[in-house]
Amino acid sequence: MYIDVSLTVEDGMVHWPKDPEVIIKQFSSIKNGNTANNTHLSFGTHTGTHMDAPHHFYEDGIGIDKLKLESLIGECLVIEVPEEYESITEDFLKTQNINSGGRILFKTKNSKIIPDKNFHEDYVYIANDAAQYMVNKGVILVGVDYLSVEGFGKGHETHRALLGAGIIIIESLYLEHVEPGSYKLIALPVKIKDSDGAPARVILER
């Protein structure tokens, strides 16, 4: 069974407050007498379900086109975070089965609000101590179900810790109908040369 955990990119969808808005416009239309349908896309690299490359926060970090396919495809663990948690902390992670080389997707109450076109500032995020814990544990990929791994207005230590350790980040996953547990992850970003990030199609197989 395959489960698509990607958001559909659509005109006017939610985006980070300072990022470009999402604009999708058809410039060639069969119904208007053109030979074919063709569409112009305008949005940032961190639109919808997307992946962060180290270059996002490190000038000398590798771009999205240099990520190893071996890291993007393989076994992963979906961890459900109880609704009372405002952030994912080290103490919470210590109660989970996190192993070296693991890929982790966090399902939180964010999955209920991620389809909303309005930006929510109070989303669940990964606390700095949890990010460092996963670095120390040798995690290779981390995914969250809102637009950022770190809290709104809380600095960039979480991004820097994860990306600085070479951990791949997936943001804006849609996990509301996904049960916690083990899956095979297939996460392929658009191959943009030297890019800091790119939209991605992310699939779980069970």
Query: Which residue from 68, 143, 73, 144 is spatially nearest to 111, judged by alpha carbons?
Result: 144
Of all helices (H) and strands (E), which one includes residue 91? helix 90-93
74 HSE (CA, 13 A, CB side): 13
Annotated catalytic residue, options 15, 46, 50, 56: 56
120 is catalytic: no
d(CA 110, CA 202): 17
- CA–CA gap between residue 70 and residue 102 (Å, rounded): 12
Element of type H or E holding 135 = helix 128-137
Q: Report the alpha-carbon distance of residue 4 to residue 200 in Å, rounded.
A: 11
Contact between 128 and 152 (Cβ < 8 Å):
no
Residues annotated catalytic, as ranges: 56
